[in-house]
């Protein structure tokens, strides 16, 4: 059997090549692969993936397409639009682990900011834009807090599709809006917030005749699953105790849950790591729902310095709840101050990441303090976006703060004596 689309609660099935994002009764859709049929074609074991040499159209690939059999098995290799996304580093860092009080040998940071456009979005984008082409779409669109629009812009250009992005006015970091403009996508600055942009995308799907590439698109999540499998493979399929990452629209939460569930079903892992989703306090509807035993999602007006996750109405809520159930996962929230302190530490370690990404490290700190994460456990944190995405936050911090890590520049006259005087 070929892969299909299936609604997540009532199990209504649709063919993979039907253009739709929800079922007729309004549920989110999963891409379901037929593992039994696939196993007859490919071994799909740890050894298979460890020894496999993957390539796309003659170029060594690795990354997302290393796992093509479990992402888009039925799509011809020649149809794939790829910029060799994935293959990101799994850092071990003494400075950050000692700041957190974790064992350096057991703490890792997976840097998704090292993808082609500087965020994890590229992993989802390569899969979803490939499907957009496959489905003969002419235009692609998204609502975005910045990174999705940057990624869409680059991939739409590569795929020769018209790109249209909706971003909230005054709430997108300069690095991200620069990318959307530079890669040549139509950029609409909406007088509203991200949730308004997302609502417009859902309403305008038909009238705009543009194919949405937000994480409501189930193919985005198929690409993002590979973050989990790549971590497992980089660790020789040894399962960590925790995977910690920021949550906004909850696409990653949903994708990570599905990836781990599938890896378990396939026998690639014998237990699941626990997911810990970190939200900014001012944009924490998922955290609040978690605290209420998921009795319902109350949307909110979001506010946080971490603009990437400034989202009050996450579209993937139901899938994210399922992911936490599968993984015995938890949700934590952190203040903007905690995010900035964590960011100063991540940056000063010579690694660096954008504010939303550093919610990961702030969350780990808080979960260690509360005893939820034990200091002898193995923890993998995900840094979702590159340090250069949001330079304004960095400049504001280092020019204006009086903290131990604040590192303001100094003006000097053009003379070696002046420089010597300053350095002494």
By rule CB under 6 A, what string of x and - marks binding of each residue 376-395 to ligand F0G?
A: --------xx----------
Closer Cβ to ligand F0G, 49 or 317, answer by number: 317
From CA 120, how far away is CA 128, in angstroms rounded? 13
The nearest distance, CB 189 to ligand F0G, in angstroms, is 14
Name the token pair of 294: 């998921």
Round to whole Å and give the CA distance between 390 and 285. Answer: 24
The answer to the question of residue 163 lying near ligand F0G (CB under 6 A) is no
Residue position matching structure tokens 């990318």: 179
* 309 binds ligand F0G, rule: CB under 6 A: yes
Cross-strand bridge partners of residue 162: 139
Which residue in 63, 116, 247, 363 binds ligand F0G (CB under 6 A)?
247
Q: Return the number of other C-beta atoms located less than 10 Å from residue 138's C-beta.
A: 11
Is residue 148 involved in binding ligand F0G (CB under 6 A)? Answer: yes
- 250 is a site residue for ligand F0G (CB under 6 A): yes
Classified as helix, coil or strand, 392 is helix
Q: Is 283 in the site for ligand F0G (CB under 6 A)?
A: no
Dihedral sign for Cα atoms in the order 141, 152, 232, 385: negative
Whose tokens are 């996750």? That residue is 309
> 280's torsion region: left (phi>0), alpha (psi -120 to 50) or beta?
beta
- Give the range of 9-17, 50-58, 235-243, 248-256 binding ligand F0G by CB under 6 A: 248-256
**Dist. CA 258–CA 264, nearest whole Å:** 10
Q: Tell me the closest approach of the beta carbon of residue 233 to ligand F0G, in angstroms.
A: 21
Going by the DSSP 8-state scheme, the letter that residue 119 receives in this structure is B
Q: Which is nearer to ligand F0G, 144 or 217 (CB)?
A: 144
Site for ligand F0G in 88-127 (CB under 6 A): 119, 121
Q: Does 177 bind ligand F0G (CB under 6 A)?
A: no
Q: CA angle, corner 262, sides to 259 and 265, nearest 5?
A: 155
According to DSSP, the β-strands at 90-91 and 107-111 are antiparallel
Residue 356 lies near ligand F0G (rule: CB under 6 A): yes
Least CB distance to ligand F0G at residue 249 (A): 3
How far apart (Å, rounded) are the C-alpha atoms in residues 309 and 302?
Answer: 9
> Shortest gap between Cβ of 54 and ligand F0G (angstroms)?
25
Q: Is 347 near ligand F0G (CB under 6 A)?
A: no
Residue numbers 23-42 binding ligand F0G by CB under 6 A:
none
- Binder among 249, 284, 304, 345 for ligand F0G (CB under 6 A): 249
Complex with ligand F0G: residue 93 or 360, whichever CB lies closer: 360
In the numeric block, which tokens belong to residue 84?
Answer: 């060799």
Chain positions contacting ligand F0G, by CB under 6 A: 119, 121, 144-148, 215, 246-253, 308-309, 354, 356-357, 384-385
């Amino acid at each position: 059997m070929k892969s299909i689309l299936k609604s997540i609660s009532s199990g209504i099935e649709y063919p993979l090549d039907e253009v739709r994002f929800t079922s007729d009764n309004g549920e989110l859709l999963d891409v379901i692969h037929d593992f039994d049929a696939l196993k007859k074609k490919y071994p799909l074991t740890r050894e298979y993936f460890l020894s496999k040499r993957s390539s796309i159209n003659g170029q060594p690939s690795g990354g997302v397409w290393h796992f093509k059999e479990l992402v888009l098995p039925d799509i011809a290799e020649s149809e794939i639009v790829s910029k060799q996304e994935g293959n990101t580093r799994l850092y071990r860092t003494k400075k950050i682990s000692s700041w957190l009080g974790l064992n350096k040998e057991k703490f890792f940071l997976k840097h998704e900011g090292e993808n082609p456009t500087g965020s994890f979005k590229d992993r989802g984008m390569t899969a979803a834009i490939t499907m957009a082409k496959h489905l003969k779409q002419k235009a692609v669109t998204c609502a975005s807090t910045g990174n999705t629009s940057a990624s869409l812009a680059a991939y739409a250009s590569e795929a020769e599709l018209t790109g249209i992005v909706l971003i909230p006015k005054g709430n997108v970091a300069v690095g991200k809006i620069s990318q959307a403009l530079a890669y040549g996508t139509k950029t609409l600055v909406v007088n509203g917030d991200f949730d308004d942009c997302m609502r417009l995308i859902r309403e305008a799907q038909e009238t705009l005749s543009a194919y949405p590439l937000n994480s409501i698109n189930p193919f985005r999540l198929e690409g993002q699953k590979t973050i989990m499998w790549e971590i497992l493979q980089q660790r020789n399929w040894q399962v960590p105790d925790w995977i910690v990452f920021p949550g906004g629209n909850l696409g990653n939460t949903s994708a990570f849950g599905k990836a781990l569930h599938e890896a378990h079903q396939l026998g690639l892992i014998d237990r699941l790591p626990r997911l810990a989703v970190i939200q900014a306090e001012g944009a924490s509807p998922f955290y609040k729902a978690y605290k209420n035993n998921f009795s319902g999602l109350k949307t909110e007006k979001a506010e946080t310095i971490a603009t990437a996750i400034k989202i009050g109405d996450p579209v993937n809520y139901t899938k994210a709840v399922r992911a936490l159930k599968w993984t015995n996962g938890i949700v934590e929230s952190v203040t903007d101050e905690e995010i900035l302190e964590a960011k100063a530490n991540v940056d000063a370690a010579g690694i660096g990441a954008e504010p939303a990404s550093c919610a990961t490290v702030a969350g780990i700190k808080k979960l260690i303090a509360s005893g939820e994460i034990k200091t002898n456990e193995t923890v993998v944190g995900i840094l979702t976006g590159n340090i250069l995405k949001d330079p304004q936050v960095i400049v504001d911090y280092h020019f204006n703060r009086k903290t131990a890590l604040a590192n303001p520049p100094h003006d000097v006259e053009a003379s070696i004596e002046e420089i010597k005087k300053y350095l002494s």
